[in-house]
Each structure stands twice: as structure tokens, then as C-alpha cells.
Amino acid sequence: MRSLRVLRWLPFVVMFGVALTDVLAGRSLVFLPLLTLGPAFASVSGGVRRTAMVGAVALAICVPMAMHNGLLFTWENNLTVVSIAGVTAASMLAARLRLRRERELASVRQVAEAAQRVLLRPVPRRAGDLRVALSYTSAAAEAQIGGDLYEIVTTPHGVRLLIGDVQGKGLAAVETAAWVLGAFREAAYDQADLADIGERLEVSLARHLGPEQFVTAIIAEVRDDELTLVNFGHPPPLLVLAGGEPRTVEPPEAGLPLGLRVFGPGVPKAHRVPFHSGDRILFVTDGVIEARNATGDFYPLTERAGLLTRDDPQEALDALRADLVAHAGG
């Protein structure tokens, strides 16, 4: 808001500065052509009418200043008047095109937000006996959604969740994320075993992914003080015990990402870890662990696990995200 106010007053400040400089410089130097900066700056933040008004103010300043310099009907002054009028007209056109683009961008953002609500639905704050928190930031500037994906559902088999990262960027990655989420939401209710959910995801992606595309993912299930995970080449989660001790939940054997099953033995094996009352587990994508500071150091996620011990999970996650942003310099 402050920068917007500065932009709105900038044309008048510039024109006043030009007029003052012209008076102080005397008749030997003429700065009046610089009055064209007024309508040019006005087109950056103002509308068509405001730009026209600034142009009229520039002309209103130009005429008495020219009379003061004794140059009212000279060729140079006539050229200055024409220049102000021409720049004002061009600036009015630029302002109109800018406003049209801003309206189009606002419409696109509304569509993107609607797509985000459909593709990446808000997670519930509670799922079964779990308290849940979420933080999502797209790597692309101004983007609402990207290639990362998540979902959490409560099923008769327990609370099941998915976190994943699609290889690649842009709309193609978003489309692939939509396929993965759709397949998971259906399979999570139908399949009793997590490996069978992974098989369903593989079959679904086989029809849509290219030969060099893949998706890293973790499918997890929480039931009866136990956490079951199937890791498809995704960064392992961080388990923070009730006492505050952090440890990385590495899979017993490496698993290939979804879409690369032709290069491996099939769906990775599920592994189980105790998950009692007061324990917390953090699932992340590689944007967290690969974030670097100015000296090139990766974000020390395990060392910052103490931020996750706050009582409210969302406050804890927000604190971790703020620390991550500070580490990466914004």
C-alpha cells in the first residue's frame, strides 16, 4: 500500500521538481520537456482519466513556465507541448492496456484458486485421533499450486495420507498431480493394504506418464499407535517423539518413485514405526531439505525439530516455515 501511494504522488512530485529546477536554472537552460515524465509515471499506477488529468496538469505548468522564459511561441516550446500531448495519449493507451491485463490476471487467479480448492482441498484440523497442520508454498512466483501434492482421508482402515512431488514443473506437473490425487482418493477407501494403494497409483499413472516422468511419494496410515509407511523414493519424514527427540524415518530399503516400476522389483515394502500419543511426524517435499542459505548450506531440518514441539500443530508448522524462509533469505 505504501508503494502504491508513492506511485500515485510520483507524477506530481516529478513535475513540481522539473518546474522548480527550470526556475532556478534561469532562462539559459530549459527543462520543460521533462514534464512528459508526469503522464508517463501516471500510467504505471493510475487509470486512463488520471493519466489524462496529469497530462493536463503538465500542460498547465508548461504554458506559464514558457511565458516566464519568454519562449511561449517558439518552435522549441511548441514541440514541448506536442511532446506532452503525445506522451499523454500514449500513456493513456498504456494505462488502458495495463488495466485490461490486471483484470485478466485477476480472473486467472480466481480460476487458479478454484482449481486449488478442487485439486488440493484444505485438510481437516482433526482426522480420527490426529491433529493435522499444513503449509503449502509453490516454488513458482505468484503461483497457487505446483507439482507438490497432498491428501489426508479417514477410512475404515485408519487415517491415510499421501504426500508427493511430481517430476517437472508447470501445467504438466499439475495435471499429473491431479491424476495421482484422484487415484489415491478412490483407492484409499477401497484397498485394505497400502501396497495395493501403491499398485493402483502405478496402474493409473502408467496410462498418463511419459517414459521419463515419475512421482516421488509416501503413503502412510495411522492406526492403533502404529504408523505404516510405503516410501516411493520420497524424502523420509521426521518423527518427533513426545519427549522432543527427533529421528528420520528411513525406509528399510530404497524404493523407486511411482512411474519407474519397470526398473525395479515392484511396489516398495511397507514398514511400521510406533506412533504414540504426543508423538509428531512431519512430512515434507524436497523444497524444504534442499533450501539453501547465502553460503550454500542446506536447511538443517533435524536441528530445528524443536520448533515442532509447540502445543498447536499449525503454530508449530508456521514457526518452522518462518525459520525456513529466514534461512533461505526470503
Does the reported pTM lie above 0.85?
A: no
> What letter represents residue 63's amino acid?
V
Query: Percent of the chain having pLDDT more than 90?
Result: 29
Distance CA 161, CA 300 (A): 25
- Weakest mean pLDDT among 52-56, 86-90, 169-173, 231-235: 169-173
What class does CATH assign to 121-328? alpha beta
Mean pLDDT in residue range 60-68: 77
CB of 63 within 8 A of CB of 78? no
CB of 124 within 8 A of CB of 150? no
Confidence of residue 320 (pLDDT cuts 50, 70, 90): very high
Does residue 239 carry a pLDDT above 90? yes
Confidence of residue 112 (pLDDT cuts 50, 70, 90): low
pLDDT in tens, 269-305: 889 999 999 999 999 998 899 999 999 999 999 999 9
Does residue 28 carry a pLDDT above 70? no
Distance of CA 275 to CAs 152, 227, 243, Å? 17, 6, 13
Mean pLDDT in residue range 150-162: 91
Mean pLDDT in residue range 219-231: 91
Q: How confident is the prediction for the chain on average, in pLDDT?
A: 84
Mean pLDDT in residue range 210-219: 84
Q: Is the dihedral of CA 184, 190, 193, 199 positive or negative?
A: negative
Does residue 263 carry a pLDDT above 80? no
| Per-residue pLDDT at 315 | 94
Task: Report the 3 state secondary structure along 2-13.
Answer: HHHHHHHHHHHH
Question: Residue 162's closest CA among 120, 129, 115, 101?
Answer: 120
Does residue 174 carry a pLDDT above 80? no
Domain spans, the chain: 1-114, 121-328
- pLDDT: which is higher, 90 or 63: 90
CB of 212 within 8 A of CB of 187? no
CB of 189 within 8 A of CB of 245? no
